Every structure is written in structure tokens, then in C-alpha cells.
Amino acid sequence: MSTPEQRIVPTDLRNEMSRSYLEYAMSVIVGRALPDARDGLKPVHRRILYAMHELGLTADRPFRKCARVVGEVLGKYHPHGDSAVYDALVRMAQHFSMRAPLIDGHGNFGSVDNDPPAAMRYTECRLQALSSEALLQDIESETVDFIDNFDGSQQEPIVLPARVPQLLLNGSAGIAVGMATNIPPHNLGELIDVVIALIHNPDISLPELMQHIPGPDFPTGGQILGTSGIREAYSTGRGSITMRGVAAIETIEQRGRPDREAIIITELPYQTNKAALIERIAEMVNERRLEGIADIRDESDREGMRIVIELRRDAYPRVVLNNLYKQTPLQNNFGVNMLALVNGEPQVLSLKQLLETFLDFRVETITRRTRYELRKAEERDHILQGYLIALENMDAVIYLIRHAADTPTAKQELMASYELTELQADAILQMQLRRLTALEADKIEQEHRELQLKIADLRDILARRERILEIIETELMALRERHANPRRTAIERDEGDLTDISLIANEQVVILVTEQGYIKRMPVDTFEAQSRATRGKSGTKMKDDDGIQHFITCCTHDHVLFFSDRGVAYSLRAYQIPEGSRVSRGVPIVQMLPVPREEKITSVLGIREFTDDDYLVMLTQGGFIKKTALSAFSNIRANGLIAISLAENDLLRWVRLGRDTDSILIASRQGMSIHFKADDDQLRPLGRPTRGVRAMALRHEDELISMDILPSQVVEAVAQAADQGDDDEDSETSETGDSPWVLVITAAGLGKRVPVSKFRLQNRAGMGLKAIKFRKGGDHLVAVLVVHEGDELMLITNRGIIIRQASDDISIQSRQATGVRLQRLDDDDAIAAVALVPPAAEEALAAPEEEGAADS
């Protein structure tokens, strides 16, 4: 049978668990993990600073062992483990963790490499001047409430009388039960400016606030990309801020070896471990997830951070750097969650709400301090008034005291005789004889007058809020003058989104499409230049019944437009096409594009950018031609876009890029060619779903085989030659110079360069002129191309043999000549396609790489 003291109380387990868990959660939230919105401190940090203040460890006093401070905090205020207290103390002394460190540490307090600090028995500490002036000043002036410590033996403050918004100054991070806080640090000068702006304009808007405080200021410097994340965090209390380290591309001189390009990292994102970053990069290089890195080393010293990443000779520095941003902590996100305690309750605060909470607390602090000073001044003045009464009746007071039987009697007689209070009577009885001199009497009178003025001023402060705000502003300006320093973190307006294209080198590539629909990409460097009339290299592995249909060269960042025989346009980036070796077949194009089975790709075009001045010139098998603005194809849907309206049984065959000032050269299978202007008189612009006009009149059993665009300067040269009466003589010409030529190539591997002046301008829809005389029966024209001095071309046969050669090696002949051998062919092989190599890498890649750098 149980006694009354041992009674069992029936309790619902669900309710008991719920109540106990909530009590535990609130204990963690309020007592450990979340900072107070007023002083921005958690209890452990507040207790450390207050304990150091009590020990007198100010900035002008000698250092004391950290073990002494930790013992003081444990014994008086913080009943937890010593490691928790020491870790919190160490963090407040780390210049790479706190934007304005609150503790001045002496010894090893850890490093940005996450090295642990020395034991507390070795390190020493004292308060920073900012801590004493901005957090602990006036704490004895009844500015904040005190409560009993854990055992009731001491009193500790529930909040410190902060003069700056410390929560924003150094930020805070903490994980409670069911909630977390993560607040970034800010610049002290900017914080003071924004508080003053709020004082002057309580209705200030967020954009106006951000003129004073544009964003966080991390102690490790670095960059912040874009302002959208900052704006969201400041307006809602939650947001994501993209941080990026500071890196530059430099050329390193090496003794006895060629110079190398290197990426030099001098600043890291906030809370990034330098040693872990270097280890991560090294691992990714070993796993071949990062290409182009030859060596990595840490050259950091006392003067600053310096991580050197040496690059391979064939690496593209900007691409390697973009990959570092994308795949390593060199670029990171700071998830802002401005959660803090307001009146003991956790709340997510916007920037303005947080500043208003601090400002209200600061007004309350000044009010309480003023009341304290007023009370002290009134108490002192009350004593002085008693002194003055005693001085006015000095002889009588002395006589009264001398003839009194004892002190209580003298006290009672003074109070009765001169209407003094008990405090005034006690003060008179304790007055020293030296205070009775004339000089001391004058001092008492002077002090009384000064106190009267001070009391009136203090009462005026309490009566008018604007006076309190003026005091807050004055104190803030004094702190700004003594402790503010320049911003360390740069804010870039560019959002810095790293797209796939910014991670890929802009190289010259060859794109092959076979008749059976296989596609692949290869670097142009796979094929070195060869002499004329040599065999060439195998460029692809094909089935016996397959052949090369399209063959273009471009750069990996270019847009590749595909046009089907049914007049539909599709689009890919060149780098999205899988890269293959010379002997690989490639991948089916239907895996890359939604091309129906009954459609075939008849034209492939590389586009660097979609400008308003450019047009696409389209030519159908039936001989219809039209031009449409290139900008109409800048946004091609995933399932394609109609490019031209076709007549029944007609097919779209050729698409080329040109301008109004250019001219068009069209050739037929039997060797005829026509040359006419692309201006509005001959070819007016049409929309996408239109048919076009007649391009060329064809002989019996002839068909169109090729089309190319001649630039405007060529059109002018042809017009001048026509004005000078240039005829079409059959003799070969020795015309030289840097003017363009028309390159004419046949299926049998014969070719020649013909001066453009030999192809006079005609009207559209004519029969044209003879472009070449065939050397043997059965041969036919394959392509006409416009080439310039120094151009290189690549020829590919039906069996996939590719040869790369300089156009300057091809002799200049007349239109009636048969040409020279360009490629030695097998008996059952023929030239299938011809393409020009893009401009030299330093010309073609310079601008795109700069664009990539801006995008990144």
C-alpha cells in the first residue's frame, strides 16, 4: 500500500510527451541556440563578455589566460561543459569568423584551414575596445534587467545594452529544435548609416535602406553575385546569397621551362575551409572530373591568402575557372534565415523589422539610463540642498550638534529644527570640517546649480523622443568615427549564373551528318593540314550503304541550326552534339532532335549570334529562293519551327547566312552558275511560312547542287569589273591579292579558284554562266564556295575520308578551265561535301571567351 508521498498520478502519455518535448524545445531555443534580436547575442556569448567585463579585462588592460575566463563563466553563469564556453570564446576572437571580433586573442586561436585553437591554458584574451564601448557601456546604469544565475548566488544581465545592431554586425548561426538561424555579417559603418537613416525617416523603404547597406560584408572578403538574393533576404527574412572567391588568371614565369597560365585565388567565400577546398580540387583532378589542372599549391603567408592552380598548356583558363566555381566551394550559397528572439519568442525578421527592434531597444536603453542618471542627480542635489541649509545656519547647527547627547538625538533635532530629511541629516552629521571653508561652500553652491541644469536637461530628454534619437545618433557617429572600416566584400551586379556554355571551351569543331542520320562532333585539330592531291584521313566509320550528307565547321559555343527537307528548323548548341573519334559512327540524330522518320536533314548551319542585320537565305530543290530575318529563329521550340512553305513535291535543300548588301551564287549539277544581288530589288524579305521566288532557270535533266553567299565588298568588286568591261575570256588569269575567289569543286576531286569578277551580276531566274569544264564524263559539280586569302577547307568523301588543305594551294583559273586535283580518290569514291575551317582560334575564340567570362 502506497503512502501519500508515493502516490501514482495517472497521466496520459501523449500529453506528457508533448508537454515535456515543448518545454525542452523552448529551453533550447531561448537558452542556447537563438540570439536575442536586441543585442544579437546568445546566452553563452553574453555571459562570456559580461564575465570579462566584471574581471576588468578591457582593451587597455593586460591579457588574462582564457582558462581563467572560462572558469569564471562556468562557475558563475553557464552550467555547461568548458569546451562549449571555450569554443564560443575562440570564435569571438577569430578575424575570419567575425566581421568585428569582440575579443582580442593572444596565441593560437585557429585558422581558416580549420586548424583547432591551442588549449585554453595556453591562450590569453581581453575585450576589444568595440565590445566595451558598443555592448557593455552603461551596463551599471540600470539600462537592462538582471536575473539570478543558475544557483541564485549571482546576478546576470538578460541582455546587453548594445549601441550597434550586433546581430547584423557579426551575424549568427544556430540550430534549435525545429528551427534554425543563419544571419550574415555586415559592415559597421554601413549599419550605423542605415540606423541613422531609419531615425530620420521611420517610413523608409527597402530600396532606400539598401542605398546605405547594399548587402552583407563577409570577414573573408570575396564577392556576392547579384542583388536579387540580398533583396529577397532583406524583404522577407529568408533568401539565398551567392558567394564567390576572388581569383585571377596570371602568367607564371618558370626558370628553364616555358611560362604557364595559372589561377591565383586570393579570397574565399565566407566559412570556406581553405585546406578542404584544396583537397577537394585535388581529388576532382585525380578523378578526372576537373580537366586542365597540372598542379595546385598553397602559398599563403602572413601577408595574405594565395592559392596557385597551375594549368596545362592546352587548357582554357576561363573554362577551368568556371568549372572551379561550378563544382567546388570556391562558389557557394549563403542561406539567409534571419530568425531571432523578440520578447522571448522566435520570429523571422526582415531588415527593417530587425533595425526597428534594435532602435526601439536603444530608445528604451537611453530612457532607462536617463532615469537612472536623473534619480542619481536628484539624490545628490537633495544632499546638496541639506548642505546649503547647514551652511546658512552654520553656527546654530554646530551648537546643536555639540550640545546633543548622542548622534540619534542630534539627527532628530536637525530634522525638527530645519525641516531636513533623514538623508540630509545623516549627510550633515557626516560632513567633514574642511567642507565648512568658504571655498568649499562655493563649490557646493556651484555643484547645486549644475545639477539643477542637468536635472532639467534629463527631464527634457525623457519628455521628448526626438532628444533620445539625437543622443542615439550622436553615439553612433562617435562609434563610426572610431571603429568603422572599409567594406571587404564586393557586390557584383551580375547574378553570375554558370550555364553549361560557360564550362565548355569554345573550340573549333567539325560536325558530320551522314545520309542515314548519324551525327558527331570532332575537334578541327584532329585533321592537320595536308598537301594538295593527297589521300586524307578517315573521318568516320560508316556502313557500306551510308554516305556523308552534311559537313560543317563551327565553334562549340555556336548555335547549330538544322533544316529538314519539309522546311522545319531545329536547334542545338554545338557542344550538345556528342564528340566522337575519327573512326566512330556517331549517334543517331533522332536521339538529339525530334525529327520524324519521313523527314531528312538537308542543311546544317552554324550561327554565332542572332543579329537583326542578318538573314537566312533558303533555296529549295525546285529552285525557289527566299530570305528571312535570322532573328525569327532565335527561339526555336523543342519540336521545331516552320522555316519555309513548300510547294507539293518540293524540298528545302540549302540554307545560308547573308545580309542585304551581299550577293548570292548558285550552281547546278551540270556546272552552270548564276550570281545576283540579295537586296530587296532582287530578293525582298519574307516571313517564315512563305514560299519564295524563282532562283535559276535549269536545262533539261539539270538540278541545283550548291549555293553560297558573297559578302558586300565582293559585290562591289564585281560591279566595278563589269563597269570596266571585263569579259569572259577562257584564258587563265594570274589575278592575285587578298580579294575573294570562288572555289569550284567537282565530285571527281578536281577544283580551282576563279576570280569573282568572272561571275558577273545577273538578274534572278536566268540561265547563268558556265562555272567549270568537266575533264571526264560522268563528273558533276559538288560545291561552289567563296574563299579568302589564308582560308583552309576540309573535303570529305562519300566513304568518310577527310582532307584538310589551304585554299592558297589551289591554282587560280578561268571559268572554262577544268581545275587541278584536290584529293586522290578511290575508284568507287567521290567528293561528298566541302566546308571552310572557322577563323584561327585566337580570332574566333577571343570574343566568345570574353562573353563566357562575363556570363560567369
Q: Which residues are catalytic?
A: 122
**3-state secondary structure at position 104:** strand
Amino acid letter, 167:
L
User: Within 10 A of 237 (CB to CB), how many other CB atoms are there?
Assistant: 20
CA pair distance 380, 369, nearest whole angstrom: 16
Which residues in 693-720 are b (16+ Cβ under 10 Å) and which e? eebbebeeebebbbbbbbebebbebbee
CA torsion angle for 31, 35, 39, 44 (degrees, to 10)?
50
572 phi/psi in degrees, rounded to 5 = -145, 160
Query: 375 with 367: CB under 8 angstroms?
Result: no
Distance CA 784, CA 753 (A): 10
Q: Which helix (H) or strand (E) holds 450?
A: helix 438-463
DSSP structure string for 802-821 = EEEEEGGGSPB--TTS--EE
| CA distances in angstroms from 564 to 121, 305, 515, 543, 639, listed in the order given | 79, 56, 12, 22, 12
Instruction: Name the residue type at position 338.
Output: M
Nearest 5 degrees, angle CA 777-CA 780-CA 781? Answer: 150
Supply the Cα-derived Rg of the chain in whole angstroms. Answer: 43
Helices within 705-814 (DSSP H only):
712-723
Which three three-digit cell numbers place residue 466? 526626438
**Distance (Å, rounded) from C-alpha 680 to C-alpha 484?**
66
The rounded distance, in Å, linking the Cα atoms of 458 and 456 is: 6
Amino acid in position 625: I
- Report which of 325, 350, 357, 441 is spatially closest to residue 394, judged by C-alpha positions: 441
Helix 351-392, helix 394-403: angle, nearest 10: 80
Which region, left, alpha or beta, applies to residue 25 given φ > 0 means left and ψ of -120 to 50 means alpha?
alpha
Show Cβ contacts of residue 404 under 8 Å, excluding neighbours closer than 6 positions.
410, 413
In 3D space, the residue among 223, 838, 802 whose CA is nearest the CA of residue 520 turns out to be 802
Helix (H) or strand (E) holding 149: none
Distance from C-alpha of 611 to C-alpha of 174, rounded to nearest angstrom: 52
Do 77 and 150 meet the contact criterion of CB atoms below 8 Å apart? Answer: yes
Q: Which long-range contacts (CB under 8 A, 24 or more apart) does 584-588 make?
A: 584/520, 584/540, 584/541, 585/514, 585/518, 585/520, 585/540, 585/541, 585/542, 586/512, 586/514, 586/518, 586/519, 586/520, 586/540, 587/518, 587/519, 587/520, 588/517, 588/518, 588/519
Report the distance separating Cα 228 and Cα 679, nearest Å: 46
